[in-house]
Structure 1
């Protein structure tokens, strides 16, 4: 290797350009594909809550006569798969990160796990006392509400405006859907929530591609 290749640039402008290129390379390496994060969750919500709407439509109607247990089961299976996909993507992107950033990520991950463990414990304890349509609303509203809050918390921790605004959007949808009642909540979350995540992943990927 030529010794001159290892020397820093003599021109200040060239040195600054080299620093910016290295920073951009590091950012690209540490930034996961937004589609791997948003699309699995968006599809899980679109399909899972879509089944809720078909089975427990507004005013007690049944658009598709599915088993009452099927929508909730499909939703949680898809949510579990989404968690695995996004977790693997994050591990690949941030696996070499250490220090405070790694600690924040670990604690944030535990917040998701313990938060949903609490949802399962509370909703599971009272579900048997409610009719099926209200049971579905309870599970979905608690899960979506926790998701919105954790997105806002993540946006605050990492100063990520898009993540924080997505959490606000999810929270607003959850409140409006819960007020509207069973059926409407599922429709709103499926279309505006799941569709919003899919759109967020697409826009994030397009911005990432333009930067590269």
Structure 2
């Protein structure tokens, strides 16, 4: 027989509520590994290729084909976008109301913001030296990523996401100051590694 309300102490009731809340979060929150690891490994691999092919001062550490880093970036970013899109859409289908709208609006913001920057950089990139053009694209896109992460933290009340966005912004500034080549290395290790770590810590916390 199910216990009545009178049989449950206040402490047990609070514990029950907390357990149910935790179960709900696990049901509607996407797996942090699927949200962060695809992008973390994409950044780690593609920016490492850029560093090896277009190092500081134009140095070539590994004589890769010139097209390889860019093609690898496009392929890895498309794959990462598909994985995170599918992983993020499943929990959203289980929710409705303001939360669902916030998720869709936030996802659309990423697409529109990156499209806007791409158009802008395409217009002005041709007036800069090759290495400076690469720094413009990489630095601008990483800056936008950090800003959107911090904006997302305000929507979802997620302090870890804010920390990731702030970290991404700080290392991006450090890389831009260091200059072309070094920016790729810093973003590859500290940016990609940061997202991989965030996915692991988020998964551990969700468990």
Equivalent in the alignment of 1:67: 65
Superposition TM-score, scaled by structure 2 size:
0.92
Instruction: Give the aligned partner of residue 6 of structure 2.
Output: 10
C-alpha separation between the residues in 1 aligned to 2:19 and 2:197?
Answer: 29
The equivalent residue for 1:107 is 105
| 1:57 matched to 2:34 | no
Q: Determine the structure 2 residue equivalent to 1:83.
A: 81
Question: Which of 133, 148, 151 is the matching residue for 2:149?
Answer: 151
| Offset from partner CA, 1:135-174 (integer Å, 9 cap, x none) | 2211111110100000010011222111011100000111
Distance 1:194 1:151 in 2: 14
Shift of residue 192, structure 1, vs aligned partner? 0.4
Q: Using a 3 Å threshold, how does the CA distance of structure 1 residues 127 and 67 change in structure 2: closer, same or farther?
A: farther
Structure 2 gaps, min length 5: none
- Which residue of structure 1 aligns with residue 135 of structure 2? 137
Choose which of 167, 173, 197 in structure 1 pairs with 2:195.
Answer: 197
* Partner Cα distance (1:51, 1:142) in 2: 19
Q: Matched residue of 1:97: which SS?
A: coil
Where does residue 161 of structure 1 map in the other structure?
159
CA-based RMSD:
1.6
Shift of 1:69: 3.0
| Deviation per residue, 1:43-97 (Å, 9 max, x gap) | 0100010111011101110112223332122112211211111111111122111
Q: Which runs of 4+ in 1 moved over 6 A?
A: none
In the aligned structure 1, how far is the partner of 2:128 from the partner of 2:49? 19
Q: Secondary structure at the match of 1:62?
A: coil
User: Is the Cα–Cα contact under 8 Å of residues 72 and 136 in structure 1 kept in the other structure?
Assistant: no
| Structure 1 runs not aligned, ≥5 long | none
SS at structure 1 position matched to 2:94: coil
Residues 66 and 48 (structure 1), Cα distance of their counterparts in 2 relative to 1, 3 Å cut: same
Alignment counterpart, residue 34 of structure 2, candidates 33, 36, 39: 36
The alpha carbon displacement at 1:15 in A equals 4.2
Aligned counterparts of 1:8 and 1:93: Cα–Cα separation in 2: 33
CA distance in 2, matches of 1:8, 1:65: 73
| Shift in Å, 1:130 | 2.8
Q: Which residue of 2 aligns with 1:184?
A: 182
Which residue does the alignment assign to 2:115? 117
Cα drift, residue 22 of structure 1: 2.2
Give the number of aligned pairs.
Answer: 205
